[in-house]
């Protein structure tokens, strides 16, 4: 899979791409990431990438011509003539659709993603109209540039590519992970996953020592009874999701046992899917 990043700060990416899972994925050739300096696509002495907004107002806007030329230099055509399931052009923007794990999975099925990193007040909207088939926000806050957002998205997509994580189950059974069965669990049955997946947040993890600053690990984890461990992990995932992200529960296939457990935590919880 190939990532291209169009930015006025190409050197920004040497840090985020140079560690851990991402570094290994790039080194082993599973993905490649190329940065492209937007200023190389300007034609004036000052290498100007921005201009004042029509209609007045605060700040500067990234001009359309250098971005259009940069995208074309990559062999990418306007969205009307492109197979956007193979080659997608993403505008990073606080006004975009919120980025989710489901979107990360979707992007991981494409062959090439081109990121346009905005700066200042943003990018001339005609670039969005002509070239971008996705406009993505990484959260409800305003960053000073799209570079951090591109790095976040690349990280979350690359770890989903086959061969990147040593154990592929790691990406399936973690927060927001898809439910293996795709179905609600049989009433009263222990859910098939050993983990808090199926759209829930992950359950809490513990490692050695068994006691730390006087706090022991939960006893069930020492017992070796895998059914009990599975049930406990599911309950912890339910409890954490209820506490931190209750809105996610509406999209989760809950078994009768899940519902009973949640009712014990919060009798008034609204669990309608």
Q: Are 261 and 231 in contact (CB under 8 A)?
A: no
Residues whose CB is less than 8 angstroms from the CB of residue 103 and which lie 6 or more positions away in sequence, other chains included: 97, 136
Interaction between residue 64 and ligand SAM (CB under 6 A): no
Of 141-149, 157-165, 177-185, 252-260, the segment contacting ligand SAM by CB under 6 A is: 141-149
Interaction between residue 121 and ligand SAM (CB under 6 A): yes
Return the number of the residue (125 or 169) whose C-beta is nearest ligand SAM: 125
Cα angle, residue 158 at apex, residues 243 and 126 outer, rounded to 5°: 90
Interaction between residue 7 and ligand SAM (CB under 6 A): no
Interacting residues with ligand SAM between 204 and 263 (CB under 6 A): none
Return the number of the residue (152 or 164) whose C-beta is nearest ligand SAM: 152
Residue 117 CA to residue 114 CA, distance in Å, equals 10
Interaction between residue 38 and ligand SAM (CB under 6 A): no
Residues whose CB is less than 8 angstroms from the CB of residue 11 and which lie 6 or more positions away in sequence, other chains included: none
Question: Least Å distance between CB 239 and ligand SAM?
Answer: 29
Interaction between residue 93 and ligand SAM (CB under 6 A): yes
Kindly tell me the burial class for residue 27, based on how many C-beta atoms sit within 10 Å of its own C-beta (0-12, 13-18, 19 or more).
Answer: exposed
- Residue nearest to ligand SAM as judged by C-beta position: 118
**Alpha-carbon dihedral of residues 89, 91, 97, 101, nearest 10 degrees?**
60
Phi then psi for 97, rounded to 5 degrees? -70, 140
Return the number of the residue (113 or 164) whose C-beta is nearest ligand SAM: 113
Interaction between residue 107 and ligand SAM (CB under 6 A): no
Interaction between residue 154 and ligand SAM (CB under 6 A): no
Return the number of the residue (80 or 142) whose C-beta is nearest ligand SAM: 142
How far is Cα of residue 159 from the mean position of the Cα atoms in its chain?
10
Return the number of the residue (118 or 199) whose C-beta is nearest ligand SAM: 118
Residue 173 CA to residue 179 CA, distance in Å, equals 8
Please, what's the largest Cα pairwise distance for the chain? 71
Question: Least Å distance between CB 58 and ligand SAM?
Answer: 8
Question: Least Å distance between CB 48 and ligand SAM?
Answer: 17
C-alpha distances in Å from residue 100, one per residue of 49, 119, 147, 153, 156: 31, 23, 18, 9, 10
Question: Least Å distance between CB 13 and ligand SAM?
Answer: 15
Of 23-31, 88-96, 212-220, 222-230, the segment contacting ligand SAM by CB under 6 A is: 88-96
The site for ligand SAM (CB under 6 A) is made up of 92-95, 117-119, 121-123, 137-139, 141-146, 149
């Amino acid at each position: 899979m190939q990532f291209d990043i169009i930015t006025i700060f190409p050197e920004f990416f040497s840090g985020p791409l140079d560690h851990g899972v991402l570094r290994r994925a790039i080194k082993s050739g599973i993905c490649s990431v190329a940065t492209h300096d937007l200023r190389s696509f300007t034609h004036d002495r000052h290498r100007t990438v921005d201009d004042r907004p029509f209609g007045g107002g605060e700040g500067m806007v990234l001009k359309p011509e250098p971005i259009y030329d940069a995208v074309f230099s990559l062999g990418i055509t306007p969205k009307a003539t492109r197979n956007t399931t193979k080659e997608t052009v993403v505008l990073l923007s606080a006004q975009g659709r919120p980025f989710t794990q489901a979107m990360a999975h979707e992007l991981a099925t494409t062959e090439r993603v081109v990121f346009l990193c905005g700066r200042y007040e943003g990018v001339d909207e005609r670039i969005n109209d002509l070239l971008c088939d996705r406009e993505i926000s990484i959260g409800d806050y305003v960053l000073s540039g799209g570079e951090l957002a591109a790095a976040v998205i690349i990280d979350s997509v690359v770890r989903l590519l086959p061969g990147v994580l040593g154990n592929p189950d790691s990406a399936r059974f973690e927060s927001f992970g898809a439910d293996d069965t795709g179905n609600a669990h049989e009433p009263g049955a222990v859910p098939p996953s050993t983990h808090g997946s199926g759209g829930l947040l992950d359950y809490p993890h513990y490692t050695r020592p068994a006691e730390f600053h006087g706090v022991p690990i939960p006893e069930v984890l020492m017992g070796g009874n895998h059914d009990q461990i599975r049930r406990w992990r599911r309950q912890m995932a339910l409890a954490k999701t209820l506490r931190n992200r209750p809105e996610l529960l509406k999209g989760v296939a809950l078994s009768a046992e899940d519902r009973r457990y949640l009712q014990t935590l919060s009798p008034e919880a609204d669990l309608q899917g």
